[in-house]
């Protein structure tokens, strides 16, 4: 309620009698019903002052039922705060929710540059081109949005808050949300990459160019496919398979699975825990647990845990050393120039080499034990005769005793290993070397503990272990 009487105090005539003028007030409520203000005017000529009841009644008439500050109203009236606006009612504002956030634990953009180790050494061939990620690795942590709290306006009505928006946790292949939605996790082993601002994991690393100084060495948890060449001095390592479409030249390839080189392996090293297939091998070292196939082997060193096959356009073994635990098959073995070509077939032949090395080491140990025994006997005798020997001689005596015990322990292990080998060699293996064209002089083949030395050219033959030793049979 408002008092519309307006008194011009400046025109007041003190000589005249006036009727009492009661105090008045102005009550303003904003359009959003979030705030109400009060201006109180004083009474004149003995009029009645504004009362709290009048103000509360006026608030009720305007629909204000919430957030009224009665203490403030009482203070305004008691202290006669006239002529100025004071807030006497306030809403409860809504608390907006907080948007969700996502915290990435890896950089989206990676600068490929040489890495420096803790000692300050820089490896210019390691450019960090691959980021290996194990399944279950947390890629990002997601903070969920909050709902916030609603407010109440002066009418007592609920004022809705703005709820927080969830974080944009967009992700690519082989990345997913954890069960509670709080994390982005890797769903597979592989290379972590970022495409269009989204992380993804590739389980196959596919390089369309060469492995050179612009790429550096590659070490990957998954399969690697190189559609170019692997150049000199670089190394590719994979816990799975490696495929190279062009040549491998002066490089190192190491795989937990199979290796396929669709062209040549030249002056390189290949280590595979699976099978190896290559077009041709030249001046290289290949070690594999499975089968090995190539069109041509030239002056290379090979260890093959399965079968070794040289077949195709040429199908040749020309010079070098070739060891396989199963059968060996080739079109041509050796060369017309009698280039030494050594072939070892079966575990037994390998065991024989180990036995020969063990016997050689055993002889060395026996000589060392003998020398230690002589020193110990000599110094012990001197100690008995003199009562004591100089400190340096005492140290020599102790060292000789210690070395003798070490050598004796190693000797016992070697003797036990030699017995194991001899027991193993009692079982003859039914393995063979098959040559589908020519086998030239200069070729030596060892099957079990027997040696076949080719002193003439053989054609279309099979060399195997028969009842009378190594036999040569025409195909």
pLDDT tens-digit map of 372-412: 999 999 889 888 888 888 889 888 989 999 999 999 999 99
At 431, is the pLDDT very low, low, confident or very high (cuts 50, 70, 90)?
confident
pLDDT of the residue at 121: 66
- Whether the full predicted model's pTM is greater than 0.75, yes or no, is no
CB distance 39 to 83 below 8 Å: yes
* 376 φ, ψ (degrees, to nearest 5): -60, -45
Going by the DSSP 8-state scheme, the letter that residue 44 receives in this structure is B
What stretches of 343-449 show up as alpha helix (H) in DSSP?
Answer: 347-386, 391-425
Give the tokens for residue 238.
């994979």
Average pLDDT over residues 421-449: 85
pLDDT above 90 as % of the chain? 72
**197 and 212 together in one domain:** no
H or E element that contains 218? strand 218-220
Domain boundary among 202, 230, 256: 202
User: Count of residues for the chain?
Assistant: 475
Residue 50 in domain = yes
What is the SS3 assignment for 254? Answer: strand
Domain boundary among 178, 202, 226: 202
Mean pLDDT over each residue of the chain, to the nearest integer: 89
User: What does the CA dihedral 446, 450, 454, 459 come to, rounded to 10 degrees?
Assistant: -80
The residues near 418 (Cβ < 8 Å, ≥ 6 apart) are 355, 358, 359, 362
Distance CA 176, CA 95 (A): 32
H or E element that contains 53? helix 52-61
Torsion sign across C-alpha atoms 433, 438, 444, 450: positive
pLDDT of the residue at 123: 62
List, for residues 345-380, the tens digit of each pLDDT value: 887 777 777 888 999 999 999 999 999 999 999 889
**364 and 331 together in one domain:** no
pLDDT of the residue at 124: 61
C-alpha to C-alpha distances, 106 to 170, 205, 226, 301, nearest whole angstrom: 15, 19, 26, 43
Distance CA 306, CA 406 (A): 38
Vertex 26: Cα angle to 25 and 32 (nearest 5): 145
Residue 53 in domain = yes
Torsion sign across C-alpha atoms 386, 392, 398, 400: negative
**149 and 223 together in one domain:** no
**226 and 302 together in one domain:** yes
Vertex 372: Cα angle to 370 and 376 (nearest 5): 115
**168 and 290 together in one domain:** no
C-alpha to C-alpha distances, 131 to 16, 126, 217, 218, 262, nearest whole angstrom: 99, 12, 13, 10, 27
What is the SS3 assignment for 381? Answer: helix
H or E element that contains 303? strand 292-304
Residue 230 in domain = yes
**344 and 249 together in one domain:** yes
Residue 151 in domain = yes
Vertex 356: Cα angle to 353 and 359 (nearest 5): 150
Q: Which one is predicted more confidently, 77 or 449?
A: 77
**248 and 148 together in one domain:** no
Vertex 218: Cα angle to 215 and 224 (nearest 5): 110
**341 and 353 together in one domain:** no
Residue 408 in domain = yes
At 2, is the pLDDT very low, low, confident or very high (cuts 50, 70, 90)?
very low
Residue 240 in domain = yes
pLDDT of the residue at 12: 46
What is the SS3 assignment for 329? Answer: strand
The residues near 14 (Cβ < 8 Å, ≥ 6 apart) are none
**265 and 191 together in one domain:** no
Average pLDDT over residues 52-81: 94
Residue 186 in domain = yes
pLDDT of the residue at 350: 74
**254 and 313 together in one domain:** yes
Residue 118 in domain = yes
CB distance 86 to 76 below 8 Å: yes
User: Which residue range is the domain that position 222 belongs to?
Assistant: 204-348
SS3 content of the chain, % helix, strand, coil (to 5): 20, 40, 40
pLDDT of the residue at 382: 85
Domain boundary among 183, 202, 221: 202
Number of domains in the chain: 4
Give the tokens for residue 165.
């928006």
Distance CA 53, CA 61 (A): 12
pLDDT exceeds cutoff 50 at 5:
no
Average pLDDT over residues 276-302: 96
pLDDT of the residue at 135: 94
**188 and 227 together in one domain:** no
Residue appearing with tokens 């009727």: 19
What is the SS3 assignment for 231? Answer: coil
**186 and 153 together in one domain:** yes
Average pLDDT over residues 289-316: 94
């Amino acid at each position: 309620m408002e008092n519309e009487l307006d008194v011009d105090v400046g025109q007041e005539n003190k000589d005249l009698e006036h009727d009492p003028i009661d105090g008045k007030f102005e009550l303003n409520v904003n359009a959003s019903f979030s705030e109400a203000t009060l201006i109180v005017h004083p009474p004149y000529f003995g009029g009645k002052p504004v009362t709290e009841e009048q103000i509360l009644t006026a608030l009720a008439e305007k629909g204000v039922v919430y957030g009224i500050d009665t203490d403030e109203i009482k203070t305004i009236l008691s202290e006669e705060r006239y002529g100025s606006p004071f807030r006497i009612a306030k809403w409860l504002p809504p608390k907006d929710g907080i948007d969700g956030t996502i915290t990435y634990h890896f950089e989206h953009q990676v600068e490929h540059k040489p890495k420096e180790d803790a000692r300050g050494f820089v490896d210019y061939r390691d450019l960090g081109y691959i980021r290996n990620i194990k399944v279950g690795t947390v890629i990002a942590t997601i903070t969920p949005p909050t709902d916030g709290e609603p407010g109440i306006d002066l009418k007592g009505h609920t004022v809705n808050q703005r709820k927080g928006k969830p974080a944009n946790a967009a992700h690519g292949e082989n990345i997913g949300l954890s069960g509670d939605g709080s994390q982005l996790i890797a769903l597979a082993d592989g290379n972590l990459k970022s495409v269009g601002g989204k992380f993804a994991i590739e389980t196959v690393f596919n390089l369309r160019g060469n492995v050179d100084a612009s790429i550096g060495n590659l070490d990957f948890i998954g399969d690697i496919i190189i559609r170019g060449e692997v150049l000199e001095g670089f190394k590719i390592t994979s816990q799975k398979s490696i495929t190279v479409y062009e040549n491998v030249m002066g490089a190192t390839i190491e795989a937990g699975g199979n290796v396929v080189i669709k062209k040549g392996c030249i002056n390189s090293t290949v280590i595979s825990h699976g099978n190896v297939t290559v077009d041709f091998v030249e001046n290289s070292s290949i070690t594999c647990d499975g089968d090995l196939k190539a069109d041509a082997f030239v002056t290379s060193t090979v260890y093959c845990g399965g079968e070794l096959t040289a077949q195709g356009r040429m199908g040749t073994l020309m010079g070098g050393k070739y060891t396989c635990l199963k059968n060996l098959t080739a079109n041509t073995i050796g060369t017309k120039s009698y280039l030494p070509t050594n072939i070892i077939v079966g575990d037994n032949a390998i065991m024989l080499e180990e036995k020969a090395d063990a016997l050689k080491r055993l002889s060395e140990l026996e000589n060392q034990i003998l020398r230690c025994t002589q020193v110990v006997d000599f110094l012990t005798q001197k100690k008995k005769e003199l009562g004591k020997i100089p400190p340096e001689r005492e140290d020599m005596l102790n060292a000789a005793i210690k070395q003798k015990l070490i050598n004796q322990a190693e000797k016992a292990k070697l003797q036990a290993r030699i017995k194991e080998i001899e027991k193993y060699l009692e079982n003859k293996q039914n393995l063979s070397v098959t040559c589908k064209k020519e086998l030239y002089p200069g070729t030596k083949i060892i099957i079990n503990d027997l040696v076949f030395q080719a002193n003439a050219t053989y054609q279309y033959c099979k060399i195997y272990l028969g009842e009378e030793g190594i036999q040569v049979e025409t195909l």
